Structure 1
């Protein structure tokens, strides 16, 4: 049974960013409801300083849900989605171009291991090095799909959309 999806954009973008917009349409076409919080005011604080306000904003959106939502995030949005999953119940995590660390901040990326998770990353990501998230996924035995792309993953929007559709289908069938 479909539920609710919260899609968190990366830094220096907004709720109308290409990836979160396309994925919102995928979810909605499958009967899921969606929302895309706007973190642009938080991002004005800088990468490291925006983490706590972004997590607080995401927690507010999760608290307003009737059931645990699926969290989708790109880059900084993936980072905060994973951290939010440590503190509040979520139904799943679909994470793109995920940083393992944000320079200037003591928080390291993490996720709850009992939450269905899929991480997608580009081989040529020059913003969030693949080695760090590859090591993270390996230590936790999490699914990691690596595509021949850069940080924006723009050459693989169709692949990301299909994977997201499969991911939501699996979650709906488990409910």
Structure 2
């Protein structure tokens, strides 16, 4: 079974409402969940280093999930981890000062969810990224946090996990 690694956003923590809900979905499928605390690191690339240290070359199937800055962290780390899935919520792409402006998603499947009313990371950034890398994209009537869309996020995440599990069982 896969292991899911979460990467929370800049102003969030390892067990915010979205991560709790998505972790429940993963656990209901027998999937292990790891949610490191990055709140002591302001630099997104230092967060990438921490994620790679925690992952430590695991041979298990990996799924990376990230929100906002955590979306950036997950996407950058995907170049090393090569996860089965990359689930990104309002990912912080094309942000001035970040080392990688559009880190290529190195995953078997990539899903991006973004709110039309995001005033932190413009929705156009996810549209541009998804178009370039042919990622699955869901645009919702929500803001940056997507907290009012948790039921939809759990459905989309559950679908991704089901597809990954099906592939593993082949």
Match of 2:17 in 1: 18
List runs of 5+ in structure 2 lacking aligned partners. Answer: none
Q: Structure 1, residues 12-32: CA drift from partner, whole Å, max 9, x if none? A: 111111111111111001110
Corresponding residue number in structure 2 for 1:31: 30
- Residue 156 of structure 1, aligned match among 131, 134, 149: 149
Q: Which TM-score applies when normalising by structure 2? A: 0.93
What is residue 112 of structure 1 aligned with on the other side?
105
Structure 1 equivalent of residue 134 of structure 2: 141
Task: Give 1:61 shift.
Answer: 1.9
Q: Does 1:73 align with 2:66?
A: yes
Deviation at 1:154, TM superposition (A): 1.1
Report the equivalent of 2:45. 52
Number of aligned residue pairs: 168
Summarize deviations over 1:41-97 as a string: whole Å, max 9, x none: 113xxxxxx122101111012216332410000001111100111123212100001
Q: Is the 8 A contact 1:74 1:95 kept in 2?
A: yes
Q: Residues 114, 40 of structure 1: CA spacing in aligned structure 2 closer, same or farther, 3 A cutoff? A: closer
Shift of 1:173: 0.3
For structure 1, the residue ranges without an aligned partner over 5 or more in a row are 44-49
Q: Where has structure 1 moved over 4 Å in runs of 4 or more?
A: none
Deviations 1:136-158 (A, max 9, x none): 11122111000000001011100
Task: Please say if residues 68 and 89 of structure 1, whose CA atoms lie closer than 8 Å, have aligned partners that are also in contact.
Answer: no
Partner of 1:123: 116
Q: CA deviation at 1:10?
A: 0.5
Q: Tell me the distance in 2 between the aligned counterparts of 1:91 and 1:114.
A: 5
